[in-house]
């Protein structure tokens, strides 16, 4: 789950495209373990017993399609195909399903582009790593709204929803986007939600992993998806790691306020580091330096910044770009460079970061539909105030929680007020009754999924343990902590769950 900024804009993880191609080897598989299909609802038997064709595709992966119903209440109705890909382990039949977050990020891209860097050799030897594009995402019946030029135009707008005229304009522009989603997407638009996606995971478990228990590694929003699966299918949970936890009991306003405060704290941590080094574009005390950043944002809110590629940089794109390096303290030097240029009046470097957030390529195309998938999931998973008074009250709370970013996180209710389908879930704690312990990983300086959310999720799950990293940035595994990586690998590979409360 990532932040909604300034109503119309969303932040998503930037991953690149993959087009599977047929290679020399093909093999059909269904559940390798006969018990993999046991317990399937009779009306869904044909989905659980389907045979899928694995074929060679890019970067040494194998790709396949898994058929699932659009609407689980109408299993004989429309169907879609989910794109899945696996990186083969070393002489192993065990599989690990992975999700990078979002909602809207591609699991295939994660496995194709990052698996060998992100997951240790020990983990890759022990498991076939399986990624998939969830329903509505990229290769799996994608939510389709604007074309590239239309998306560019939408990002160029500089709307202030805190004024009556600006709010009217924001609703009107968003309604145009929603109408395009309705026209271009099809019936999946009504069913791009987390509960349906979790049910898809169980079919993937049976036909792609071929196991009676699901082994799973979810990051960020992927923890919410994993907790939803664990609540629905407690008896089918194998080894589960949830890193960068989102608490499913939180409503949309609580999430937004938590993230706004998280990024405020991350900004202060970055500023302290920046001032302690050389070449920092801010000066003075920590508070004085943060004030300089706030003044820069206020200036851009009134007067979008020029760039060298002909586009302007409105405040929404500036904030989206600025937040991206705050996800990982190893990227703070990139933020220093972009801010240095911005203080000199050139927004080009920050625009490139904003393009990265939006999955925009240098040729002007967009490599994913992550913005629109994010919106679709959140409009069905959450309800939030969309009346002017309610949003103004939330805006005041946000500005108190985050004096720098709060106002730009406000008015998120614009996104979904005119969505054609009502939310399908009410926020509630996870409810897990399984016998397999779940490992929740939390980072103390995580801006996008604040550490208290990991503590809450661990408590809700019951049969779970919390592994803590004292660090900065979003998620923990694969980010340089040998302590974290060894603890997670020891659980996933050897079955040794870290002690609840362990810290790195």
Of 380, 431, 390, give the one whose Cα is nearest residue 188: 380
The reported pLDDT for the residue numbered 299 is 97
Burial 326-335 (b: 16+ CB within 10 A, else e): bbebeebebb
User: What is the C-alpha end-to-end distance of the chain, expressed in Å?
Assistant: 24
Answer yes or no: 140 catalytic: no
Q: Determine which one of 243, 247, 446, 489 is catalytic.
A: 446
240, part of any domain:
yes
Residue found by looking up tokens 């045979």 in the block: 51
SS3 annotation, 326-355: HHEHHHHHHHHHHHHHHHCCCCHHHHHHHH
The reported pLDDT for the residue numbered 433 is 97
404, part of any domain:
no
Residue by residue, DSSP assigns 414-433 as: GTTTT-SS------------
pTM for the full predicted model = 0.94
Looking at residue 480, which CATH number applies to its domain? 3.40.50.1820
**Residue ranges for the chain with pLDDT beneath 50:** 1-28, 30-31
Q: Which tokens in the block code for residue 24?
A: 């020399």
85, part of any domain:
yes
Answer yes or no: 431 catalytic: no
The reported pLDDT for the residue numbered 26 is 35
Q: Which tokens in the block code for residue 444?
A: 């103390």
The reported pLDDT for the residue numbered 340 is 98
Q: Determine which one of 196, 329, 359, 474 is catalytic.
A: 474
The reported pLDDT for the residue numbered 127 is 97
The reported pLDDT for the residue numbered 293 is 98
Residue by residue, DSSP assigns 198-251 as: HHHHHHHIIIII--SSEEEEEETHHHHHHHHHHHH-GGGEEEEEEES---TT--
The CA distance from 114 to 420, in Å, is: 36
The CA distance from 358 to 345, in Å, is: 23
Of 361, 379, 357, give the one whose Cα is nearest residue 370: 357
The reported pLDDT for the residue numbered 24 is 28
The reported pLDDT for the residue numbered 35 is 84
- pLDDT, tens digit (0-9, with 9 covering 90-100), for 437-487: 999 999 999 999 999 999 999 999 999 999 999 999 999 999 999 999 999
For residue 240, what are the β-bridge partners?
Answer: 216, 438
Exposure of 56 in the CB half-sphere (CA atoms within 13 A)? 5
146, part of any domain:
no
Answer yes or no: 446 catalytic: yes
Q: Determine which one of 220, 383, 402, 456 is catalytic.
A: 220
290, part of any domain:
no
369, part of any domain:
no
Its domain, for residue 215, covers: 26-141+191-249+427-492
Of 262, 370, 361, give the one whose Cα is nearest residue 309: 361
133, part of any domain:
yes
Residue found by looking up tokens 């019951």 in the block: 462
The reported pLDDT for the residue numbered 91 is 86
CB 396 within 8 A of CB 387: no
For residue 41, what are the β-bridge partners?
Answer: none
What's the number of domains the chain is made of?
1
Q: Which tokens in the block code for residue 245?
A: 């936890």
208, part of any domain:
yes
């Amino acid at each position: 789950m990532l932040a909604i900024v300034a109503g119309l804009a969303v932040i998503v993880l930037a991953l690149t495209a993959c087009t599977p191609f047929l290679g020399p080897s093909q093999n059909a598989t269904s559940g390798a373990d006969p018990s993999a299909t046991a317990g399937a609802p009779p009306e869904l038997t044909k989905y659980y017993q389907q045979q899928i064709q694995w074929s060679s595709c890019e970067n040494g992966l194998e790709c396949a399609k898994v058929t699932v119903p659009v609407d689980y209440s109408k299993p004989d109705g429309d169907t879609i195909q989910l794109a899945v890909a696996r990186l083969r382990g070393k002489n192993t039949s065990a599989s690990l399903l992975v999700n990078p977050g979002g909602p809207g990020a591609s699991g295939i891209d994660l496995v194709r582009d990052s698996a060998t860097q992100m997951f240790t050799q020990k983990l890759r030897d022990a498991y076939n790593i399986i990624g998939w594009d969830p329903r509505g995402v990229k290769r799996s019946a994608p939510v389709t709204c604007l074309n590239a030029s239309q998306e560019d135009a939408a990002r160029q707008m500089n709307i202030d929803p805190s004024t009556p005229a600006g709010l009217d304009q924001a609703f009107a522009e968003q309604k145009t986007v929603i109408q395009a989603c309705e026209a271009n997407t099809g019936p999946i638009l009504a069913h791009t939600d987390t509960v349906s996606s979790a049910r898809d995971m169980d079919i993937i478990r049976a036909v792609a992993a071929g196991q009676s228990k699901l082994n799973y590694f979810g990051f960020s929003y992927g923890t919410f998806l994993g907790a939803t699966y664990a609540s629905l299918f407690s008896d089918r949970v194998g080894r589960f790691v949830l890193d960068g936890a989102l608490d499913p009991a939180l409503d949309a306003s609580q999430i937004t306020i938590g993230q706004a405060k998280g990024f405020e704290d991350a900004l202060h941590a970055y500023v302290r580091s920046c001032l302690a080094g050389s070449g920092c574009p801010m000066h003075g005390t920590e508070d004085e330096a943060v004030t300089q950043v706030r003044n820069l944002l206020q200036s851009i809110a009134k007067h979008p910044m020029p760039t060298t590629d002909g586009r302007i940089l409105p405040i929404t794109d500036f904030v989206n770009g600025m937040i991206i390096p705050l996800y990982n303290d190893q990227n703070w030097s990139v933020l220093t460079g972009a801010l240095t240029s911005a203080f000199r009046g050139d927004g080009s470097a920050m625009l490139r970061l904003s393009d990265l957030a939006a999955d925009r390529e240098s040729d002007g195309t967009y490599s994913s539909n992550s913005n629109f998938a994010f919106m679709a999931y959140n409009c069905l998973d959450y309800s939030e105030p969309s009346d002017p008074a309610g949003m103004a009250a939330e805006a005041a709370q946000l500005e108190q929680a985050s004096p720098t970013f709060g106002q730009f996180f406000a008015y998120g209710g614009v996104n979904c007020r005119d969505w054609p389908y009502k939310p399908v879930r009410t926020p509630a704690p996870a409810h897990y009754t399984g016998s397999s312990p779940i490992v929740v990983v939390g980072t103390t300086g995580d801006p996008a999924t604040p550490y208290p959310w990991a503590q809450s999720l661990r408590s809700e799950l019951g049969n779970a343990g919390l592994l803590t990293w004292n660090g900065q940035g979003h998620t923990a595994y694969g980010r340089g902590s040998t302590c974290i990586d060894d603890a997670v690998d020891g659980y996933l590979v050897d079955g040794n769950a870290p002690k609840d409360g362990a810290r790195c």
